[in-house]
């Protein structure tokens, strides 16, 4: 599918469907009638629909008009409601664009044209980028495993039209460039979703390493993966302990992208939790919903996909990606509650609950990250059910010590609509992870579970650090406009936009 930007008028544009986005505003709708031309059949239909209230621009409205033969060139006119004018935001554009292309797809349109809706003072580049995200992420399906019976008609081209060569102040060339960048970032998000949705009979630590290597080769970053021998040599005891019950080998994956022109530029290090399946281990989880734990590697997926995006965008910045990957299984060789491990930095941890495995594997990566003299380290993990209890599926939990980065992620999260919400990591909570037999223990009891998990991680950091708990946001329970049920690829857009800003490339 190709997304174009073109100077042309819809009336003479050859397309299966032309899409208009309509705010819920009677005056606006009445004004829009002039574009159909006076006394034309389309004008007649639309004005009756407005007068009768059948066309109002409400958010869930999708109307198809069929022009009389020879009246205009498009075969169909698809009118998509945008909702209340004062609520029209970039997020509404993402959602409306997703609804528009899905509607056009059910109408078997191979070619679609659309005029982008105005969103306050936003430039055409910004609005187009939001529309592209809605389109590509909205059309995403994880359908590889179905026996295909009726093939869906693929959309071949989508064209953003402009009558005068400008879209909200931006030229066709500028918008086309923004479209290309948004496509690239959306494809990276889709890559993360695919990895998350892959079932765990096809997905092991070695598979994550393979996906990272392939992405590195194609997109231009270096990938190294440690197997059992190197894990032992580097005392990566958390990864080894968690993987101990699995018949598969663990991996620690290192991804290096060096885009900065300055030799001494400090990197940003991204760390991902890569548990390819989390049964809980000996502290086994209840059966209900356990299947969702196939995406307990969503942090890893986000890190791998973000490196791909950053490399393809050729950002002038240094970024390191680290993934701790293991399979958390119960067996005769599995780690037991009460076991004690001693990390490479000398800190010992009592494993009170083998289901709190994410923090155990992340600790090895956080120690390793010290090598890079990082500007900031951001870890991403489907870490705690407690975070989902606190925040639901609406926002990612953010904790950490890098105040400037927190501010930046908050701002960008609001813009890309992958919002983060800060939880406190007051020192009083540290009491909860004290152990009688080791320096710390891996669970803090019933209260403040997302926070005690973060405080465990904090003990392994000596640099500016952020922890993003994506347990609630990495999977969606119900499909909405551009977020399908299942893996969401959350935080690929958030991190990529943060890195674009950090690199100084606008």
The distance from CA 1 to its chain's CA centroid, rounded to whole angstroms, is 21
* 446 noted as active-site residue: no
Give the residue from 128, 109, 110 showing the smallest Cα distance to 118: 128
Q: Which contiguous run of DSSP H or E holds residue 74? A: none
Q: Does 356 bind ligand BES (CB under 6 A)?
A: yes
Q: How many CA atoms lie within 13 A of 437 on its CB side?
A: 10
The site string for Zn ion over 271-290 (x = CB under 5 A, - otherwise) reads ----x--x------------
**102 labelled catalytic:** no
How crowded is the C-beta side of 162, counted as CA atoms within 13 Å?
Answer: 21
Contact 139, 49 (CB under 8 A): no
Work out how close the CB of 162 gets to ligand BES at its nearest, in angstroms, rounded to a whole number: 44
Per the CB < 8 A criterion, the answer to whether 29 and 22 are in contact is: yes
> Which residues inside 441-500 make contact with ligand BES, applying CB under 6 A?
443, 449, 471
Give 388 or 420: the residue with its C-beta nearer to ligand BES. 388
Q: In the stretch 293-332, what mask flags binding to Zn ion with x, by CB under 5 A?
A: ---x------------------------------------
Q: Looking at residues 229 to 268 of the shown chain, list those that interact with ligand BES (rule: CB under 6 A).
A: none
- Tell me the C-alpha distance between 195 and 209, whole Å: 12
Distance CA 356, CA 455 (A): 13
List the interface residues with ligand BES, window 156-215 (CB under 6 A).
none
Choose the binding region for ligand BES from 175-183, 230-238, 362-370, 377-385 (rule: CB under 6 A). 377-385
Q: Which of 133, 357, 364, 402 binds ligand BES (CB under 6 A)?
A: 357
Name the strand (E) or helix (H) holding 39. Answer: none
Min CB(193)–ligand BES separation in Å: 16
Span from 94-102, 169-177, 356-364, 489-497 in contact with ligand BES (CB under 6 A) = 356-364
Residue with Cβ nearer Zn ion (358 or 472): 358
Give the residue ranges of DSSP H helices in 165-266.
172-197, 205-219, 228-233, 237-243
Is the Cα torsion angle 159, 164, 169, 173 positive or negative in sign? positive
Catalytic residue among 222, 285, 336, 406: 285
Q: Give the binding range for Zn ion (CB under 5 A) out of 14-22, 251-259, 269-277, 304-312.
A: 269-277
Q: Does 355 bind Zn ion (CB under 5 A)?
A: yes
Calculate the alpha carbon distances from 152 to 107, 155, 400, 409 in Å.
10, 9, 46, 38
327 binds ligand BES (CB under 6 A): no
* Residue 267: closest CA among 323, 320, 321: 320
Positions marked catalytic: 285, 359
Site residues (CB under 5 A) for Zn ion?
Answer: 275, 278, 296, 355, 357-358
Site residues (CB under 6 A) for ligand BES?
Answer: 278, 296, 353, 355-358, 382-386, 388, 443, 449, 471
């Amino acid at each position: 599918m190709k997304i174009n930007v073109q100077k042309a008028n819809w009336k003479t544009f050859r397309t299966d469907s032309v899409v208009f986005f309509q705010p819920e505003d009677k005056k606006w709708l009445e004004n829009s009638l002039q574009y159909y031309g006076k006394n034309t059949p389309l004008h007649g239909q639309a004005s009756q629909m407005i007068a009768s209230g059948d066309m109002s621009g409400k958010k869930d409205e999708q109307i198809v008009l069929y022009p009389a033969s020879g009246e205009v060139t498009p075969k169909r006119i698809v009118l998509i409601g945008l909702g209340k004018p004062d609520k029209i935001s970039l997020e509404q554009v993402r959602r409306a664009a997703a609804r528009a292309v899905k509607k056009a797809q059910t109408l078997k349109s191979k070619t679609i044209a659309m005029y982008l809706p105005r969103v306050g003072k936003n430039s055409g580049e910004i609005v187009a980028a939001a529309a592209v995200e809605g389109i590509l992420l909205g059309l995403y399906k994880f359908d590889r495993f179905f026996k295909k019976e009726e093939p869906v008609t693929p959309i071949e081209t989508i064209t953003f039209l402009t009558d005068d060569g400008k879209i909200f102040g931006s030229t066709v060339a500028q918008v086309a460039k923004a479209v290309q960048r948004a496509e690239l970032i959306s494809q990276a998000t889709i890559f993360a979703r695919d990895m998350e949705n892959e079932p765990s009979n096809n997905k092991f630590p070695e598979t994550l390493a393979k996906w990272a290597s392939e992405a590195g080769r194609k997109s231009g970053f270096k990938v190294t993966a440690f197997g059992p021998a190197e894990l032992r040599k580097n005392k990566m005891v958390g990864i080894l302990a968690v993987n101990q019950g699995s018949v598969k080998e663990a991996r620690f994956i290192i991804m290096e992208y060096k885009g900065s022109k300055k030799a001494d530029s400090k990197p940003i290090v991204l760390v991902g939790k890569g548990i390819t399946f989390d049964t809980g281990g000996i502290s086994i989880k209840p059966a209900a919903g356990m299947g969702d734990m196939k995406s307990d590697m969503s942090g890893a997926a986000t890190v791998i996909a973000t490196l791909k995006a950053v490399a393809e965008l050729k950002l002038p910045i240094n970024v390191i990606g680290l993934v701790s990957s293991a399979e958390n299984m119960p067996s005769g060789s599995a780690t037991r509650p009460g076991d004690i491990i001693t990390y490479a930095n000398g800190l010992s941890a009592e494993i009170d609950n083998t289901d709190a495995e994410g923090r155990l594997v992340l600790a090895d990566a956080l120690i390793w990250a010290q090598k890079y003299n990082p500007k900031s380290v951001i870890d991403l993990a489907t870490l705690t059910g407690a975070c989902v209890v606190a925040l639901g599926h609406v926002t990612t939990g953010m904790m950490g010590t890098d105040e400037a980065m927190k501010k930046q992620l908050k701002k960008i999260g609001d813009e890309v609509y992958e919002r983060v919400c800060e939880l406190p990591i007051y020192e009083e909570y540290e009491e909860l992870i004290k152990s009688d037999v080791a320096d710390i223990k891996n669970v803090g009891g019933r209260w403040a579970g997302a926070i005690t998990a973060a405080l465990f991680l904090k003990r392994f950091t000596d640099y500016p650090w952020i922890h993003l708990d994506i347990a609630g946001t990495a999977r969606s329970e119900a499909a909405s406009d551009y977020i399908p049920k299942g893996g969401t690829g959350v935080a690929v857009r958030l991190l990529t936009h943060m890195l674009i800003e950090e690199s100084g490339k606008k």
